[in-house]
């Protein structure tokens, strides 16, 4: 947890130095904030070479926690994102196997805040992702994009709904017989509802 906090702080601090002079404006709710959301997660099907059946994952829990800074219409965030599934299906069989995906992402968002209450937003992310599937795990570079809409309930609180898709270009898993399985362009999408609280 300490390492995650340090990564958040370093990400936000670095992006703040770069972005502050570029994106600052006169919006009244500028400043630091914490954010969190919870909902569902859908892991993308995996295409198996030479087999006419994809590995499919049941929808599971999706959530995230993060820290960010709001420049007015542009925000930066350092966020831990989790996707999860309890069941996997392949070749007509269902396996009770827990799959957990954890991403640490640095993101930049743009808010369309013309009326100051409802604010659609879009964003892009870069980071690293660890996938744990049935006891086998691997980590890799990841990128993604987010989109949603926020509603400002007070000077310090915004409620939002969002979709967030994360792509991991390549992962390699070791099997029980010491061979390896490589997955290309693995992905998962979280649909969540949450809060941003400024301080």
Euclidean distance between CA atoms 87 and 2, whole angstroms: 31
Domain that holds residue 31: 2-198
Which tokens in the block code for residue 51? Answer: 């087999």
Report the predicted TM-score, pTM, of the whole model to 2 decimal places: 0.80
CATH number at 30 reads 2.40.160.20
Residue in the block written with tokens 């991403």: 103
Euclidean distance between CA atoms 110 and 11, whole angstroms: 17
Q: What is the pLDDT along the chain (199 residues), one digit of tens a residue?
A: 445 445 445 544 544 444 444 444 444 568 999 999 999 999 998 876 666 678 889 999 999 999 999 998 899 999 999 999 988 887 777 776 789 999 999 999 999 987 678 999 999 999 999 999 877 889 999 999 999 999 999 989 999 999 999 999 998 887 656 667 788 889 999 999 999 999 8
Which tokens in the block code for residue 24? Answer: 């600052």
CB 168 within 8 A of CB 187: yes
CB 44 within 8 A of CB 169: no
Give the chain's domain count: 1
């Amino acid at each position: 947890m300490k390492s995650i906090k340090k990564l958040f702080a370093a990400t936000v601090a670095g992006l703040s130095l770069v972005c502050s002079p570029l994106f600052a404006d006169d919006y009244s709710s500028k400043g630091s904030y914490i954010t969190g959301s919870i909902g569902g997660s859908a892991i993308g099907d995996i295409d198996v070479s030479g087999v006419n059946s994809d590995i499919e994952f049941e929808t599971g829990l999706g959530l995230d926690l993060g820290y960010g800074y709001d420049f007015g219409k542009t925000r930066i965030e350092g966020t831990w994102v989790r996707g999860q599934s309890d069941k996997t299906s392949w070749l007509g069989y269902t396996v009770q196997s827990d799959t957990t995906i954890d991403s640490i992402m640095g993101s930049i968002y743009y808010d369309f805040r013309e009326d100051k209450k409802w604010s659609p937003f879009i964003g892009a992310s870069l980071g690293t992702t660890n996938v744990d599937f049935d006891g086998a795990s691997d980590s890799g570079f990841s990128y993604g994009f987010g989109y949603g809409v926020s509603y400002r309930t007070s000077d310090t609180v915004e409620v939002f709904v969002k979709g967030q898709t994360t792509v991991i270009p390549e992962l390699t898993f070791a099997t029980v017989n010491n061979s390896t399985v490589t997955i290309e362009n693995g992905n998962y999408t979280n649909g969540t509802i949450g809060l941003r609280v400024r301080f």
